[in-house]
Structures are given as structure tokens and as C-alpha cells.
């Protein structure tokens, strides 16, 4: 899902309970402790939710320590694979919802019974799908994220628009005016759209009725080379070239658009809920608190009236590896972490909780409410076991670059990407 700079960023210092002594205790799970691997997002974004779950767990199992180890998206799968090879896996692990299929197909996770888990009857459909394989459930939905437009209210006002656009044509009109007024500064973008942001590009594809790939019999077939997908990509190209000065060879994490946005180089960008507070994060935009007064958000309108541009429903799930030696203890921790109390804290941190019951948590928060609304129209990646391999070295990214830099026509670019995706999806696993 999210990639970051360094492969060796294996450990961010855990702020949670350290379970080892200075000379290094082994983290082999035993009845006295369990090991959980979460992404550093949790450590930075919602540490209270983690602490809440752990204290709930310890009330239930007083003698058992919880060893939370925070991972980085870049290296977690490599470490997980190594641990599988050595039968030394964590007791619970967070995986991106587009990565689970691969591990479920390989039998890496323990099957679970949803009815034993809190709120399972109201789990978000998109997340639940990413935990289902062959009719069984292998993981627990953790949280989801939707994208919306974060924008500068003051800049929109300066070109005559007091409220956010609700139609695509209005969105285009605003963009044109912004570029006319501020575009002479070669750093300025009306909408900062990194060229390799395939999440947004595919949103356009789905908006025009296209898809990425479909299951035909026993094979997967990439279908970007269809009139609908091509229409979507054409609209995406038109918008990006007109409004964005972002790099055409970088994706949405290099840099995070919050940063140039905070420095005044963008009037808007499409991002996740957590990218709002990231504008103020010293590691991110480092904007002063007063900057927030100028910010607003709205779901990106679709070219079809009354709809939103479908957003990628990203998210994470938590699974219990088959090789764990403390499956029932791990299950108890996961139940605590995905229960209402922790999930509410997770939602308040700028995410979408795993249950429709909790969708209203952010309804009154003007910063976060648009994201929850945007989730009404969403898309997800093909549920192929090998999809994670597509994302690891994503052919869609160079495809977009070649389209945006005019090095290839859309038709030839999608043809090439289709064959590359087919090869990966249908590889013997």
C-alpha cells in the first residue's frame, strides 16, 4: 500500500512496553507474552488506541505481556517472510488490505470465526472482502481510509468561490481560474497531483465505468485496454496536465502533498484523512496552527452528476499467522483492538473505522466528515492472490508516467501495462 524511502527502516522505536532486557531477550512467543506487529502509522497516529487495547487485554490476562513491534511498509513483508521461514512469526500482524490475498492463498493465516469478533456483523464490506478467501475468513478488518480533496478556502475565495464544488465542471472551472491567477509561479498547482498516483488515476478509470482486471474462468485478465478505462485515463491526463506541477515520476508519498501544500505551492490535493493533520506535523508540512483556518475538504465530484469520484478504499487488516504459538491470546488482543472503544479512537485520528456502526464518529468534524462521505463511492483492487506482487513493483506507475510525459499514447501504454499485469497475476504461485 504505502511505500517509503528505506528498505532497512525495520524498527521505529517502540513507545509501547519493551519486553526485552538489554542483552536481548528472544521474542519467541511464550505463554508469558505475545508479539504483535503493527505499522508505524499506529505508533504515530493513534497510540492511545493501541494502549487502550493492551490495557483491556492485560485486565483479561494479567500475567501476559504484549510486545508491540512497529514496522515499516517497505520491510514488513520481507521480515514476515523471514519469520515464516524460521517458524518464528509474530502472534498477530497488520497487513494492507491489498496484500492479504497473497498470504491467504498461501495459507499463512489462521482461519477465524467472525461471530467471535466485535462488530463483525457490521464490518465494512470492502474490508471484509479483503479478509475472505475460499469461503473462509482469515483476518479481521482494522481500519479503512478514503480520499477527498483538501483545499485552501482562501485561495478558492480569491477566485470567487466561497463554497466547495459539487460538480466536476465547477471543479474544472475553479482550477482554470486558479491557474490563470497564480500559475505564473512555476511552483504552483491548482491541484497537486503526482504523476504516479495510481490511486487517483484508477479512480478516474472506475468513474468512467472501467476496471483494472477481471476474473475470466481460471485466469485473470487486465482490462485497462477498454474504451471506458481509456476515457477515464484521458480525463485524468487532461486534468493533471492542466492543474498540476507535481513530478510525473513520483507517487503520492514522495513527497506527501501536504508538504508543498503547507508551503503554499498547491491550492488543493487529493489525500487521505490523516494527510490533514500531516500538514502541521513537524515531519510533514510543519505549518503553523493558524494555517488550519484556511483549510477545508470536500469529496471529489464525479463527472456524473450526483456522484463522487470513486475513492480507493485503502485499509489494513489484522491476521493471526498459522505458526503462532499463542493463537487464542492473540485473538483476544485483536478483539480488544478492533472493538468499539479502540476503533473509535482510531476513527478520531482521521481514519474510517472498521464498522458501519462507527461511521458517524466523525460526522461533526468538518475536517474528517468529507472523507467518511467520500467512502460512499469506492473501488478496490482485484482480489487476485498475486495482486500484492503487482503492487510491489507496480507497472501502473511507469504507465502513468509515460502517458503524462507523452512518451506513449494512452492506448499503447495501457496495452503494455495489461500484458505486464496479466503476467504477474497469472504467474504460478
Partner 1 sequence: MSSPLAGAPLAGLRPVRRRSRRARARRWGVDALGLLVFLVMIFPVYWMVSTAFKPGSDIIANTPVWFPTHPTLSNFSDAIDRPYFWTSVKNSLIVVVSVVVISLVLAFLAALALAKFRFYGRKAFIVLVIAVQMVPLNALIIPIYLVLSKGNQVDKLSGLVITYLTFVLPFTIWTLRGFLLGVPRDLEEAAQVDGSTRFGAFVRILLPLIGPGLVATSIFAFIQAWNEYLMASVLVHSPGNQTLTLWLAGFITDRGTAWGPLMAGATLTALPVVLFFVAIQRRIAFGLTAGAVRG
Partner 2 sequence: MSSRSPVAAASVAATLPQRRRPLGRRLRSASVPYGLLLPASVVIAAVLAYPLYYLVRLSFQHYGLFQLVRHKGEAIGTANYAAIFHDSVFWHTLLRTVAVTAVCVVLTVVLSTLIALLLAELSSWVRLLLTAGLIFVWATPVVVAISIWSWMIDFEFGVANWTLTKLGVGNFTHHDWLANPWSGWGVIISLIVWGAIPFVAITLYAGLTQVSGELLEAAAIDGASRWRAFRDITLPLLKPIYVIVISLSIIWDFQVFNQVWLITNTTPTPDYFVMAVYSYVTSFKISEYGLGSAIAVVMVGIMALISVFYVRQMVKLGDVE
Could you give the CA distance from residue 14 to residue 36 in angstroms, rounded to a whole number?
Answer: 12
Site string for partner 2, 41-80 (x = CB under 8 A): ---------------------------------x--xx--
At residue 371, the 3 state secondary structure works out as: helix
Question: In angstroms, what is the minimal distance from the CB of 69 to partner 1?
Answer: 6
Q: Which of 20, 48, 116, 405 touches partner 2 (CB under 8 A)? A: 405
**Residues touching partner 2: how many (CB under 8 A)?**
48
- CA geometry: angle 389, 204, 263, nearest 5 deg: 90
**What residues are paired with 123 via a beta bridge?**
355
Beta bridge partners of 39: 71
The one among 128, 147, 152, 245 contacting partner 2 by CB under 8 A: 245
DSSP 248-295: SS--TTTT-THHHHHTT-BSEEEEETTHHHHTTSTTTT---GGGGGGE
User: CA separation (Å) from 95 to 258, 316, 320, 323, 409?
Assistant: 25, 6, 11, 16, 36
Pick from partner 2, partner 1, none: which does 389 bind, CB < 5 to 8 A by kind? partner 2
- Grid cell, residue 52, equals 487502550
Beta bridge partners of 112: 137
Contact window for partner 2 (CB under 8 A) among 29-37, 112-120, 131-139, 250-258: 250-258
Half-sphere exposure at residue 115, Cβ-oriented, CA atoms within 13 angstroms? 0
Whether the CB-CB separation of 351 and 145 falls below 8 Å is answered with: yes
Q: Does 265 bind partner 2 (CB under 8 A)?
A: yes
In the complex with partner 2, the residue whose CB is nearer, 1 or 347, is: 1
Pattern 84-113, partner 2, x by CB under 8 A: xx-x--------------xx-xxxx-----
Cα separation, 31 vs 54, whole angstroms: 16
Q: Supply the minimum distance, in Å, between the C-beta of residue 155 and partner 2.
A: 18
| Closer of 68 and 295 to partner 1 (Cβ) | 68
Rounded Cα gap, residues 373 and 375, in angstroms: 5
Query: At closest approach, how far in Å is the CB of 51 from partner 2?
Result: 30
* Grid cell locating 408: 506513449
CB of 306 to partner 1, least distance (A): 35
The entry of partner 1, partner 2, none that residue 375 binds, CB within 5 to 8 Å by partner kind: none
Tell me whether residue 29 or residue 374 sits nearer to partner 2 (CB atom): 29
Burial class (CB in 10 A: 0-12, 13-18, 19+), 95: buried
Select from partner 2, partner 1, none the partner in contact with residue 254, using the beta carbon and a kind-dependent cut-off of 5 to 8 Å: partner 2
Binding part of the chain for partner 2, among 154-162, 330-338, 357-365, 397-405 by CB under 8 A, reads 397-405
- Binding partner of residue 102 among partner 2, partner 1, none, CB cut-off 5 to 8 Å per kind: partner 2
107: cell is 495459507
Q: List interacting residues with partner 1 (CB under 8 A).
A: 2, 4-15, 18-27, 35, 39-41, 44-45, 67, 69, 72-75, 78-79, 81-82, 85-86, 88, 187, 253, 256, 259, 263-265, 274, 278, 281-284, 286
Q: Are 380 and 314 in contact (CB under 8 A)?
A: no
Rg over CA atoms, the chain: 22
Site map 305..324 versus partner 2, x via CB under 8 A: -----------------x--
Is 18 one of the binding residues for partner 2 (CB under 8 A)?
no
- What residues form DSSP beta bridges with 137? 112, 132
Q: Cell digits for 180?
A: 490563470
| Largest Cα span, the chain | 66
CB of 429 to partner 2, least distance (A): 5
Among residue numbers 157 through 216, which ones bind partner 2 (CB under 8 A)? 186-187
Pairing of strands 65-71, 33-39: parallel
Which of 27, 228, 249, 340: binder of partner 2 (CB under 8 A)?
249
Residues that bind partner 2 (CB under 8 A): 3-8, 74, 77-78, 81, 84-85, 87, 102-103, 105-108, 186-187, 245-251, 253-255, 259-260, 265, 322, 386, 389, 392-394, 397-398, 401, 405, 424, 427-429
Amino acid at each position: 500500500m504505502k511505500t517509503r524511502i528505506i528498505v532497512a527502516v525495520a524498527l521505529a522505536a517502540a513507545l509501547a512496553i519493551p519486553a526485552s532486557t538489554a542483552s536481548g531477550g528472544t521474542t519467541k512467543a511464550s505463554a508469558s507474552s505475545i508479539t504483535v506487529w503493527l505499522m508505524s502509522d499506529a505508533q504515530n497516529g493513534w497510540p492511545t488506541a493501541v494502549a487502550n487495547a493492551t490495557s483491556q487485554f492485560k485486565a483479561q490476562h494479567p500475567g501476559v505481556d504484549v510486545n508491540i513491534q512497529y514496522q515499516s511498509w517497505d520491510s514488513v513483508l520481507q521480515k514476515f517472510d523471514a519469520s515464516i521461514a524460521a517458524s518464528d512469526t509474530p502472534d498477530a500482524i497488520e497487513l494492507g488490505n491489498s496484500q492479504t490475498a497473497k498470504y491467504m492463498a498461501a495459507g499463512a493465516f489462521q482461519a477465524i470465526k467472525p461471530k467471535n469478533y466485535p462488530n463483525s456483523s457490521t464490518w465494512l464490506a470492502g474490508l471484509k472482502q479483503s479478509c475472505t478467501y475460499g469461503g473462509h475468513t482469515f483476518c479481521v478488518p482494522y481500519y479503512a481510509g478514503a480520499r477527498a480533496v483538501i483545499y485552501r478556502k482562501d485561495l478558492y475565495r480569491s477566485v470567487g468561490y466561497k463554497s466547495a464544488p459539487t460538480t466536476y465542471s465547477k471543479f474544472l472551472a475553479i482550477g482554470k481560474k486558479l491557474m490563470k491567477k497564480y500559475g505564473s509561479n512555476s511552483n504552483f498547482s491548482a491541484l497537486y497531483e503526482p504523476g504516479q498516483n495510481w490511486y487517483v488515476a484508477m479512480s478516474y478509470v472506475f468513474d468512467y465505468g472501467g476496471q483494472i482486471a477481471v476474473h475470466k474462468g481460471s485466469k485473470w485478465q487486465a482490462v485497462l485496454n477498454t474504451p471506458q478505462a481509456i476515457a477515464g485515463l484521458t480525463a485524468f491526463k487532461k486534468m493533471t496536465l492542466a492543474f498540476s506541477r507535481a513530478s510525473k515520476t513520483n507517487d503520492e508519498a514522495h513527497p506527501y502533498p501536504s508538504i508543498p501544500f503547507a508551503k503554499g505551492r498547491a491550492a488543493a490535493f487529493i489525500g487521505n484523512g490523516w494527510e490533514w493533520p500531516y500538514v502541521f506535523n513537524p515531519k510533514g508540512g510543519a505549518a503553523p496552527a493558524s494555517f488550519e483556518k484556511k483549510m477545508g475538504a470536500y469529496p471529489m465530484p464525479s463527472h456524473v452528476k450526483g456522484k463522487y469520484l470513486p475513492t480507493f478504499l485503502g485499509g489494513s487488516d489484522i491476521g493471526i499467522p498459522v505458526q503462532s504459538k499463542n493463537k487464542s491470546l492473540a485473538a483476544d488482543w485483536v478483539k480488544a483492538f478492533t472493538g468499539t472503544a479502540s476503533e473509535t479512537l482510531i476513527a478520531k485520528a482521521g481514519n474510517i473505522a472498521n464498522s458501519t456502526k462507527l461511521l458517524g464518529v466523525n460526522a461533526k468534524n468538518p475536517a474528517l466528515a468529507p472523507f467518511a462521505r467520500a467512502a460512499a463511492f469506492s473501488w478496490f483492487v482485484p482480489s487476485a492472490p498475486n495482486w500484492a506482487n503487482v503492487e510491489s513493483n507496480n507497472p501502473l506507475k511507469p504507465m502513468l508516467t509515460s502517458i503524462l510525459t507523452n512518451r506513449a499514447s494512452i492506448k499503447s501504454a495501457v496495452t503494455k501495462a495489461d500484458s505486464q499485469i496479466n503476467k504477474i497475476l497469472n504467474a504460478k504461485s
